[in-house]
Amino acid sequence: MTAPTLSRGTSLGYAAGSVGTGTFGVLPGLVLAYYLTDTLGVGPLLASFVVVFPKIIDVVINPMVGARSDRDFGTTGRRTRLMWWGAITIVPLFIATFATPTSLSSGGAALWVLIFFSLTAVAYALFQVPYIALPADLTTDYHGRTKLISDRIVVLALTILVVGAGAPAIRNAFDGGFRGYLAMAVATTALMTLGMAAATHWAGRAGATAVDPTIPPATSRTRDGFEALKHNHHYRILLLVYVMQALATAVMLAGTQYVATYILEDKDALTPLFIALVAPAILIMPLWVRIGGRFGKQRALAAASVLFMLAAASLGAAIVTPGVWIYASVAVAGIGYAGMQTFPLAMLPDVIDEQSAAVGRDQGGALSGLWTASETMGLAIGPGLYLLVLAAAGFRSSTGDEVVVQTDGALTGITVGFALVPAALIAVSLVILSRYRRSEQPA
């Protein structure tokens, strides 16, 4: 079968979806834990439950969404119905998450956030699962998929830069408290929904032209993703690597505001830290594409992971010598982060093709459903894990604009969680990646 040729418009349309996924991926991880502990006065242990539990729902919901997406694709040639539902329903739910009534106690505030963030996670799954499945529908070209994903990651990095720097700025412009978080949520939700709608309209329609006639439109089952996890070695290894790396980046992301406030002693340092992380990723992406084409996606992923791991480990020195040098290490981590985001997503469509051919029916939604469920679980556990480190280190929560003086042990915990825990998680992912044995097609 000849690989469909991707138009530039389709590629950019697909990349636009990362405005939505990037906003939702970065913002809760960046500010939700801090919102709970330092604005709502929720203790770190309870806050860790609030940020983790909604994503546990995804383990059940996402495979169901994936199976439904495959059925839609099998009968209509499109995955857009669920994507539209997600893009629309996420608006009021995400805003409500950060609209906690000021009259609530810390326990009541935690319950409010738990309910609305859980519902927001369901709405997001309706978009994200079919969106992640689209590259397998759009093209079967090995290197074309890397280029498609690289365009997406550039937009993702730009989104993270804008949201990571802009959202806290909006929050701070509206007093940094309850009003600030609500204003931030309204502004970022508008951006998020715009990106989701653009991807659904342009890339979602284009996916219909790439239906593989050799795979019959048989009914997809919710358990198909779990069957692939059990029997497909390549899918299992790739998924485990991606989850471990998502967990590592989520832990570091959750710690960024704490490092800015308590290590660099400047809340506003969050913005330059984000610029240091994301700007290099945008500049280095063409080089990662060339490296992937020359040496293969697996080797390129390994190289990116090692770079991120070494940069994260170096940040551990902030325990004894904090300073502006932190920005340089974060920038090196950003270069590695770009590759860690690109190559697993470029490898996933290849594995989807392998599994679809093995079982005789389309598996894009099923495998993407379990993939996104596992990814979001990792992204949710990250802040929870970081909060557990803080709790163990004796971190003390606060309310409003108050900045509590932390003990030396708490300051050490802030740095260990931000630097050494992510480095250790990436090291584990590299051990797992070494077991990936799928034949590649370097140029």
The end-to-end CA distance of the chain, in Å, is: 20
Each residue of 261-274: pLDDT tens digit? 889 888 888 878 87
Distance CA 406, CA 182 (A): 28
Spatial contact of 406 and 395, defined as CB atoms under 8 Å apart: yes
Is 402 exposed, middle or buried, given 0-12, 13-18 or 19+ CB atoms closer than 10 A?
exposed
What are the structure tokens assigned to 187, written together? 């502004």
Spatial contact of 416 and 394, defined as CB atoms under 8 Å apart: no
- Which of the residues in the chain have pLDDT under 50? 1-3, 209-211, 215, 218
Spatial contact of 163 and 191, defined as CB atoms under 8 Å apart: yes
Characterize 209-237 residue by residue with b for buried, 16 or more Cβ atoms within 10 angstroms of its Cβ, and e for exposed.
ebbbeebebeebbbebbebbbeebebbbb
Distance CA 184, CA 19 (A): 16
With 0.85 as the threshold, say if the pTM is over it.
no
Please give the single-letter amino acid code of residue 33: A
Spatial contact of 63 and 369, defined as CB atoms under 8 Å apart: yes
Is 177 exposed, middle or buried, given 0-12, 13-18 or 19+ CB atoms closer than 10 A?
middle
Angle at the Cα of 424 from the Cα atoms of 422 and 427, rounded to 5 degrees: 110
Fold of 14-433: Growth Hormone; Chain: A; (1.20.1250)
Map the chain to HEC letters. Answer: CCCCCCCHHHHHHHHHHHHHHHHHHHHHHHHHHHHHHHCECCCHHHHHHHHHHHHHHHHHHHHHHHHHHHHHHHHHCCCHHHHHHHHHHHHHHHHHHCCCCCCCCHHHHHHHHHHHHHHHHHHHHHHHHHHHHHHHHHCCCHHHHHHHHHHHHHHHHHHHHHHHHHHHHHHHHCCCCHHHHHHHHHHHHHHHHHHHHHHHHHHHHHHHHHCCCCCCCCCCCCCHHHHHHHHCHHHHHHHHHHHHHHHHHHHHHHHHHHHHHHHCCCHHHHHHHHHHHHHHHHHHHHHHHHHHHHHCHHHHHHHHHHHHHHHHHHHHHHHCCCCCCHHHHHHHHHHHHHHHHHHHHHHHHHHHHHHHHHHCCCCHHHHHHHHHHHHHHHHHHHHHHHHHHHHHHCCCCCECCCCCCCCHHHHHHHHHHHHHHHHHHHHHHHHHHCCCCCCCCCC
**pLDDT computed for residue 405 by the predictor:** 81
Other C-beta atoms closer than 10 Å to the C-beta of 409 total 12
Spatial contact of 252 and 418, defined as CB atoms under 8 Å apart: yes
Distance CA 279, CA 204 (A): 29
Distance CA 116, CA 227 (A): 32
**pLDDT computed for residue 281 by the predictor:** 74
Domain coordinates in residue numbering, the chain: 14-433
**pLDDT computed for residue 5 by the predictor:** 60
Greatest distance between any 2 Cα atoms in the chain: 64
**pLDDT computed for residue 3 by the predictor:** 47
**pLDDT computed for residue 210 by the predictor:** 46
As beta bridge partners, residue 399 has 40
Cβ neighbors of 208 (< 8 A, separation 6 or more) are: 76, 77, 78, 137
